[in-house]
Amino acid sequence: MPPSTAHLPAGRIAALRQAESERFVTAHPQSLALARAAQAHYLFGVPLHWMRDWPSPATLFVREAQGVTLHCADGLRYADFCLGDTGAMFGHSPPPLAEAIAQQAARGLTCMLPAVNAVAVGEGLQRVFGLPRWQMALTASDANRFVLRWARAVTQRPQLLVFDGCYHGAVDDTLVDLDPATGRTLPRPSVLGQVHNHAAFTRVVPFNDLAALKAALAQGDVACLLAEPALTNFGLVPPAPGFWAAARALCRQHGALFVCDETHTISTALGGHARAHTLEPDFLVVGKAVAGGLPCAVYGFTEDMAARMAAAKDAAPEGHSGIGTTLSGNALTLAALEAALNHLHTEASYRHMLALAARLEQSLRERIARAGMPWTVTRLGARMELQFMPETPQNAQDVRDRAQSELEALTHLFMLNRGVLLTPFHSMLLVSPATCDADADRLLQVFDELLVALSVG
């Protein structure tokens, strides 16, 4: 298969990227000044080092974000399709959420006791996601970490099973790769300060590969399969038809729990992919957008699991469980979560998101076909990925083999310079209830300009 940039004149992408970098510098004097000043206070000049992983030549500083409109330090306006990499999937500061947070902020932030709305929040979680019992954390990374402890505790099994290309947050056990030559687990080389050998307790198999899954489960020592319903952090790789029904059956057959990480795939439908496709997880993890972007994550589980978790806790000696953090389930978070469950996780939100995302997907596909580019668009509900490869990938190795990182970086910067924000690292775009036709039209217009720029010699 020819690389999907082989038809472009040599050097075109690099030349365009250089021109776009210069354009960014000229248009963003305030961001540049802030970026220089911030070097004195922050590692790499940013509060979190990932913020320098965007392909712009300097950090873009944000003045304000509301709905899907973001204004940078230089007063320029952007239609935001990154949406905080899903944290702001329902739009930035939706009014019912901002109001609930402001009201609770005057009534106590954290007490290490449940606020009186805890019951209403539990009812809301069951209504939206279907599972009856819940616990809270502040980040999806934490929620995944805690669920892994519960899963190992209740099954008394050591092994974790994940898919190659997975990302479940800063969870040590999951930061591993698959060695394609041997099928063995490898530590992810980019992970800093790693001393524990997670290869000893984590098995990795390719996504959409039932034979490999079966072989990994057959040894009878897997506590749980931790998986997103579709890979969303290594491009967007959807499940093959029938994959999950068979995978779920294999987990049951071999006594392994199924932990479904819906942190990104809640873009699929109201209540997430697992609910829409009846995946029947033992545990369900949702973070990021679950409380509209205020730090919050939740994990839900079945009654059977709750009984097994209670038994494991009762059987353990008094003392630290290794599960939980002081601020988890705090009053401010509960207030935000209640408002989000009532006003954001709604049929109306998803009706709008899914319809507009479908139109955008179709329009991008038409443009790609007209321009004769060997690219595709893969969509999962409200999120889609512009993929610089001819077909939707089947697993992480497909993505590794075909990735076009230079073209992705150019696309990102080209769009940013024209007022459209895509997610960095891969070209993901997410449609929120606040995204309107004009935002989609703006994106399509800029995409047209990119296609022209790439084709003009």
Ligand X SMILES: Cc1ncc(COP(=O)(O)O)c(C=O)c1O
Residues near ligand X (CB under 6 A) are 85, 139-141, 144, 167-169, 228, 233, 261, 263-264, 287-288
Q: How far is the CB of 139 from ligand X (least distance, A)?
A: 3
Parallel, antiparallel or unpaired: strands 133-137 and 297-301: antiparallel
> Smaller CB distance to ligand X: residue 178 or 410?
178
In the chain, count H helices and then E strands: 14, 16
Q: Nearest residue to ligand X, using CB?
A: 169
Instruction: Supply 281's token pair.
Output: 């997880």
Angle subtended by helix axes 437-455 and 347-371, to nearest 10: 20
Q: How far is the CB of 374 from ligand X (least distance, A)?
A: 28
Cα–Cα distance, 113 to 108 (Å, whole number): 11
> Smaller CB distance to ligand X: residue 139 or 159?
139
Are 168 and 174 in contact by the 8 Å Cβ rule? The answer is yes
Q: How far is the CB of 235 from ligand X (least distance, A)?
A: 13
Are 286 and 138 in contact by the 8 Å Cβ rule? The answer is no
The strand pairing partners of 384, in sequence order, are 379, 429
Q: How far is the CB of 14 from ligand X (least distance, A)?
A: 29
Q: How far is the CB of 91 from ligand X (least distance, A)?
A: 18
Cα–Cα distance, 415 to 397 (Å, whole number): 28
> Smaller CB distance to ligand X: residue 26 or 325?
325
> Smaller CB distance to ligand X: residue 163 or 375?
163
Q: How far is the CB of 87 from ligand X (least distance, A)?
A: 7
Burial 9-30 (b: 16+ CB within 10 A, else e): eeebbeebbeebbebbeeebee
> Smaller CB distance to ligand X: residue 90 or 447?
90
> Smaller CB distance to ligand X: residue 13 or 269?
269
Phi, psi of 186 (to 5 degrees): -120, 145
What contacts 171, CB < 8 A, 6 or more positions away? Answer: 141, 144, 145, 148
